[in-house]
């Protein structure tokens, strides 16, 4: 009898399996729409030029590798606070905000969900559909997952979402993504965000806002309008911020956990709990990626260079979305796929059955997960005519 015999083997990660299958596919015509990272026109995920420069500067100036402390890089934290709340938010000077460096957006989601649990939450609502790691994190902390309606006819399903959330109990948690919802690309309007904030306040629901694509939808300021409207209405919120995509820092595990409270006392108490959770898991947050981001955002020239690089990533995705959407509308003869153009960020979800996604892969070399999620950034403009011809056969 081995210590390990009580363990049954878990199913393999479907997305990783898809990546391997794509790589070993020997057909000359194949399309990888399954990847979860940004790709440029050459199909690469390059290190941003502002990141390279900031990294070199930081390493040259670095005198020690000693721990930074439980909050990690405090300059980084201050920059992300200003991103999330806006630089003039009164809570910043009233002690009603906390911020911690975290190992990526996922580390921040873990802190947010763990804090909910310490505040008494027993179940957490996630959008249907959502990024599969949301239910993973919630379940790993022993909490129950519930879902709320999210998408309908290519847009946000406000009535459905509000109806489902009105069935939530006071103290329940709600994970809301913004901007650039994964996997649908569908974002609530600023008005919708206000309504979501209102219901969270009225029902006393604890919101965790997952910001993983800041700058990928319309711009750095524009992309925060929704969550800021939400926070204005709700009064309190937890926020998980990821720098993986907008700074291209994936493997450096760079993110921040933040919270906005109604009282400085509440935030002071929450700070001790967040520090306690960090201490019991990674002990101290990683420094490298946060140092790079702080260097970029603290230097006017590097910041301008990063903003220009972010703009070009965003514009490339918007261009590809428009072309794919127009091509699908023409090829299917229906306006249904016109909604792709109104969606944001890297992902959209095509209305395909699981069987269709398997047939697309086996018969046509088009790789995407069973959910029908496609990564727009995985496309090259030259792929669009042929790809839309293939997809249209399944979409009519
Ligand atoms: N939240 C969403 C919705 C995501 O799509 C991602 C990354 O794919 C993350 C959070 C966090 O990613 P990371 O932990 O790599 O920063």
- How far apart are the CA of 189 and the centre of ligand 1, in A? 22
**Average pLDDT along the chain:** 96
- How far apart are the CA of 92 and the centre of ligand 1, in A? 26
Looking at the DSSP bridge assignments, the partners of residue 207 are 174
Name, in order, each residue with C-beta under 8 angstroms of 343's C-beta and a sequence gap of 6 or more.
154, 184, 185, 186, 187, 321
Return the ligand 1 atom nearest residue 210 CA: 1
- Residue 8 CA to residue 155 CA, distance in Å, equals 40
Sole residue written with tokens 């390059």: 46
Vertex 185: Cα angle to 180 and 189 (nearest 5):
70
- Tell whether ligand 1 has an atom less than 6 A from the beta carbon of residue 112: no
Mapping DSSP to helix (H, G, I), strand (E, B) and coil, where does residue 16 land?
A: helix
Sole residue written with tokens 């108490």: 269
Residue 255: predicted pLDDT: 98
Residue 308: predicted pLDDT: 98
CA dihedral 195, 201, 206, 208 (to 10 degrees): 30
Which alpha helices (DSSP H) does the chain contain, by range? 14-24, 49-61, 74-85, 104-118, 133-140, 158-165, 190-203, 225-234, 264-281, 288-297, 300-332, 354-364, 384-395
- Tell whether ligand 1 has an atom less than 6 A from the beta carbon of residue 271: no
Return the ligand 1 atom nearest residue 103 CA: 14
pTM over 0.85: yes
Residue 246: predicted pLDDT: 98
- Tell whether ligand 1 has an atom less than 6 A from the beta carbon of residue 278: no
Closest to 185 in 3D by CA, of 390, 9, 324, 391: 324
- Mean pLDDT of all residues in 358-385: 95
Q: What does the domain layout of the chain look like in residue ranges?
A: 14-47+305-395, 67-298
- Tell whether ligand 1 has an atom less than 6 A from the beta carbon of residue 182: yes
- How far apart are the CA of 253 and the centre of ligand 1, in A? 10
* Local confidence band at 396 (pLDDT 50, 70, 90 cut-offs): confident
Residue 298 pLDDT > 90, yes or no? yes
Give pLDDT tens digits for 97-124: 999 999 999 999 999 999 999 999 999 9
- How far apart are the CA of 242 and the centre of ligand 1, in A? 6
Q: Which of the following CATH numbers is that of domain 67-298: 3.40.640.10, 1.10.357.10, 3.40.50.2000, 2.70.150.10? A: 3.40.640.10
Q: Whose CA is nearest to atom 8 of ligand 1?
A: 36
Q: Return the active site residues.
A: 131, 210, 245
Name, in order, each residue with C-beta under 8 angstroms of 230's C-beta and a sequence gap of 6 or more.
176, 178, 193, 194, 196, 197, 200, 207, 209, 237
Fold of 14-47+305-395: 3.90.1150
- Tell whether ligand 1 has an atom less than 6 A from the beta carbon of residue 246: no
């Amino acid at each position: 009898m081995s210590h390990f015999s009580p363990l049954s083997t878990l199913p393999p990660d479907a997305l990783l399996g898809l990546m391997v299958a794509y790589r070993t596919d020997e057909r000359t015509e194949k399309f990888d729409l399954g990847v979860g990272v940004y790709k440029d026109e050459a199909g690469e995920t390059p290190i941003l030029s502002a990141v390279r420069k900031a990294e070199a500067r930081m390493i040259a100036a670095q005198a020690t590798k000693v721990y930074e402390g439980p909050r990690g890089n405090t300059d980084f934290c201050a920059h992300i606070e200003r991103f999330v709340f806006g630089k003039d938010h009164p809570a910043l000077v009233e002690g009603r905000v906390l911020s911690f460096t975290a190992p990526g957006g996922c580390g921040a989601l873990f802190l947010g969900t763990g804090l909910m649990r310490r505040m008494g939450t027993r179940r957490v609502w996630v959008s249907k559909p959502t990024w599969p790691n949301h239910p993973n994190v919630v379940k790993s902390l022993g909490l129950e997952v519930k879902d709320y309606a999210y998408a309908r006819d290519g847009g946000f399903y406000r009535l459905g979402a509000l109806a489902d959330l009105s069935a939530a109990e006071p103290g329940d948690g709600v994970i809301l993504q913004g901007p650039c919802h994964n996997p649908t690309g569908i974002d609530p309007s600023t008005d919708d965000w206000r309504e979501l904030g209102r219901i969270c306040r009225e029902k006393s629901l604890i919101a965790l806002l997952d910001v993983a694509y800041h700058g990928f939808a319309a711009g750095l300021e524009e992309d925060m309008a929704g969550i800021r409207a939400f926070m204005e209405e709700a009064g309190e919120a937890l926020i998980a911020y990821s720098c993986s995509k907008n700074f291209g820092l994936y493997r450096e595990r760079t993110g921040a956990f933040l919270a906005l409270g109604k009282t400085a006392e509440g935030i002071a108490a929450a700070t001790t709990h967040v520090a306690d959770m960090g201490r019991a898991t990674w002990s101290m947050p990683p420094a490298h990626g946060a140092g790079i981001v702080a260097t970029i955002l603290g230097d006017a020239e590097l910041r301008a260079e990063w903003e220009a690089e972010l703009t070009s990533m965003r514009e490339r995705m918007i261009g590809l979305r428009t072309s794919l959407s127009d091509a699908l509308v023409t090829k299917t003869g229906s306006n249904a796929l016109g909604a792709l153009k109104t969606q944001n960020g890297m992902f959209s979800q095509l209305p395909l059955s699981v069987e269709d996604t398997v047939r697309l892969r086996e018969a046509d070399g088009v790789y995407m997960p069973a959910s029908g999620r496609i990564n727009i950034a995985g496309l090259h403009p030259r792929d669009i005519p042929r790809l839309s011809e293939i997809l249209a056969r399944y979409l009519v």
